[in-house]
Structure 1
Amino acid sequence: MSRGVADRWEHQTIDYVPFRPATVVKYMLRADRVHRWAPLAPALFHLALVHVYNRTPVERATAQIVRRM
């Protein structure tokens, strides 16, 4: 921990979120997080969810959450 990069881009915390479509999408779209993702991170999370749960349930959960915002 005493060593590290000078620009402080290392993770300060680790958040554990259950790997379910609605939970992951809600976490990614939280007001304090929505603009802090690396450019490729949302796409990778989406593809991982689609791989596990298939496309339709993931897109349905995403659409419901976005509609409620």
Structure 2
Amino acid sequence: MTVTARPLPPLATLTDAQRRGADCVFCSTPLRNRASVDLGMRRRTEHGQVLTLHPRRCAAACRTGGAGE
């Protein structure tokens, strides 16, 4: 079975809370540790600086935002 992950929204559209994993990367809902899915650390370049992102998504509400769900 092949699993395809939904791409993250454009970096410029993400809030600081979404970039650090405090809010859902897809719908901006504030997340609690048990109610979220870690999408893995990512590195992106913005204005010549390398940023480290820690995106997470809702466990229930954003099921379409995750791999294979």
TM-score by length of 2: 0.27
Q: Judging by fraction of residues, say which structure has more helix.
A: 1
Structure with greater strand percent: 2
Greater Cα radius of gyration, structure 1 or 2: 1
